[in-house]
Amino acid sequence: MYPPPPPPPHRDFISVTLSFGESYDNSKSWRRRSCWRKWKQLSRLQRNMILFLLAFLIFCGLLFYINLADHWKALAFRLEEEQKMRPEIAGVKPANPPVLPAPQKADTDPGDFPEISSQKSQRHVQRGPPHLQIRPPSQDLQDGTQEEAMKREDVPVDPRPEGDRQRTVISWRGAVIEPEQGTELSSRKAEVPTKPPLPPARTQGTPAHPNYRQKGVIDVFLHAWKGYRKFAWGHDELRPVSRSFSEWFGLGLTLIDALDTMWILGLRKEFEEARKWVSKKLHFEKDVDVNLFESTIRILGGLLSAYHLSGDSLFLRKAEDFGNRLMPAFRTPSKIPYSDVNIGTGVAHPPRWTSDSTVAEVTSIQLEFRELSRLTGVKKFQEAVEKVTQHIHGLSGKKDGLVPMFINTHSGLFTHLGVFTLGARADSYYEYLLKQWIQGGKQETQLLEDYVEAIEGVRTHLLRRSEPSKLTFVGELAHGRFSAKMDHLVCFLPGTLALGVYHGLPASHMELARELMETCYQMNRQMETGLSPEIVHFNLYPQPGRRDVEVKPADRHNLLRPETVESLFYLYRVTGDRKYQDWGWEILQSFSRFTHSWAVGLRLAPPLVVAVTWVGGGGVAAASGWPPCRLGAPASPSPLSFMVCGTQSTQRAWAPLIDISQDLSGEDPCCGPSIPP
């Protein structure tokens, strides 16, 4: 009998081959591995880099979410607020009604302003001539005197009774007061202000002959003005090197900026030519973004100054129209205005690079808006800027009256805390505290308290002396660390201090003003050109062979800023010391020597570059024109009793004013002897 067959060998696996036309590959290269095994096989450096990148992306995502949440909150708030408001500008149709309703209607006759056609919603365009759509001027803005303008057939007739029509503008003449006398703004005294009839337009009287220095100022101005007139007439700024122009807003910034200067210098022909352009060509129906601060101090301020000096209601009508178009900038959750606003569509927004506004910009528009309310009787202008002032007053984050440089428009809180300066982005905040107090008749003690506290904060934290000459200067403080850096912009301070002393503040302020004025003069004198650079650094410790003032290569340029010359004017008028007049004359000669060319050109004088890229703003033709003129006149404190100057030397008057029309035959209250054309 046969033995049974042996059992089959034991197999520990089962092999199944599925063939789909491809050969089987049993190599390890294709096998899947878990993510953890892959992670463990990475080097430590690779893992650290991946973790860092992941953490960075999470952080960026959180920041984006926070900013997006703030944006939607602000948008919802603005929608809710604007739905409660009526259109602000007569005839304006917003680009996107569901999100941005029409601005609030002004408390004025709709016939005073041209109709603004509806525009399609589009992205914000870049500033410059190719993107500006300039429409022809409206028929109701044609040239003519004040009396002729009221008689034109194309101007709608006001249906209101004669008594109501006479309250269109508040007269600012016919009253003589002392500086200490209280003069509250008219919109505070009554719910419905009483507005006297328009004063008749003034003309310049027969002027006396200018002295040598005044004639020098006129010559410098006329040289700059001729270059602008030939190559950039009606445009924002002159490019002297290329003999062309540049546009910022497309609103004739230089021309409007120079109106008050031409009046003060007695340039009747040039003033009338510029006025004709304002009447026929200046209109605001443009889809263009304007910077709230720059357009307020230059356009609104320039128009108000021209009205104060000439009495021509054309400038006031233009100012009110423009003021209405700036109001959408104040529609924010915090009432801190946006930096930019489209004057055609009423759309306002923060800068492209941040959601913050600059403290100096939001607190240096008050003089102009308050004055516009006083002259028109429309309270909304004053109320908007005073909400900003009150908000800033109660904010935390200050240091003995000193304020940071930035503030968020959504939260209303200071940002970039711990950085304090009297230079760029904060300078004119302190200047306007004092000037608002003067403008309001010295009744708003809160403004004075903030100003005095800030000056004491400057003494405590920012004031130092240089070596070897012991020059007093104002530095900067960043998170507890002092920097011996001083902007030329800080040279507004000696003039502001002197103005405060003239109006009754402590004599110690005058001592500080004199010391700082000496420093600002040395910032010019110690340069090879006699002109101050944009920024200087002071030496705090004595070192052989080193001067008090040092300049870094990037700061070796001069932008024709007016702060030093304006302060010299105040010091000369308050003290009567002729050295300030002489210093101003030296600076003017340096300007003329190093910036003078047939087209207001450019000269290089190493190691300082004097760049004359434009005429307006801080340039010769506007802000720097009238202070040298006044420095050339006999000392007299009278103008400081009724005149307040804006942050770029534009004149502002406070109510009620001295009737200065009778003085124009011989003694211009702003410039000493009047100057002929």
Q: How far apart are CA 264 and CA 626, in angstroms?
A: 7
- Mark residue 381 as left, alpha or beta (left: phi above 0; alpha: psi -120 to 50; beta: remaining): alpha
> Which of the following is catalytic: 82, 88, 257, 534?
534
In angstroms, how far is the first alpha carbon of the chain from the final one?
A: 147
Q: Kindly report the CA angle at 629 between 507 and 616, in degrees rounded to 5?
A: 105
SS3 state at 320: helix
Report the alpha-carbon distance of residue 184 to residue 176 in Å, rounded.
15
Kindly state the tokens that stand for 125.
């365009």
Distances in Å between the Cα of 334 and the Cα atoms of 76, 392, 442, 483, 639 are 13, 11, 28, 32, 38
Q: Which of 427, 444, 487, 566 is catalytic?
A: 427
Q: Which of 289, 450, 476, 563 is catalytic?
A: 563
To the nearest 5 percent, what fractions of the chain are helix, strand and coil? 45, 10, 45
Cα–Cα distance measured from residue 78 to residue 579, given in angstroms and rounded to the nearest whole number:
55
**What distance in Å separates the CA atoms of residue 340 and residue 349, rounded to the nearest whole number?**
6
Whether the CB-CB separation of 613 and 554 falls below 8 Å is answered with no
Tokens representing residue 92 in the block: 């304006």
Q: Which residues contact 361 (CB under 8 A, 6 or more apart)?
A: 291, 292, 293, 339, 425
Residues 636 and 629: their CA atoms lie apart, in Å, by 13
The DSSP letter of residue 165 is H
Determine whether 427 is an active site residue.
yes
Residue indicated by tokens 């591995």: 33
In angstroms, the Cα distances linking 603 to 228, 486, 560, 598 are: 18, 25, 13, 12
Q: Shortest CA distance to 292 belongs to which of 234, 332, 262, 259?
A: 332
Rounded to 5 degrees, what are φ and ψ at 278?
Answer: -60, -40
Place of tokens 């009737």: 659
- Residue 449 designated active-site: no
Dihedral sign for Cα 135, 138, 139, 142, please. Answer: negative
Decide if 348 contacts 340 (C-beta within 8 A).
yes
Give the span between the Cα atoms of 595 and 23, in whole angstroms: 86
294 is catalytic: yes
The CA–CA distances, whole Å, from 571 to 492, 518, 574 equal 11, 11, 5
Closest C-alpha to 89, from 321, 384, 370, 348: 321
Structure tokens at 38: 């892959």
Query: Of 82, 88, 294, 476, which is the active-site residue?
Result: 294
Active site residues: 294, 427, 534, 563
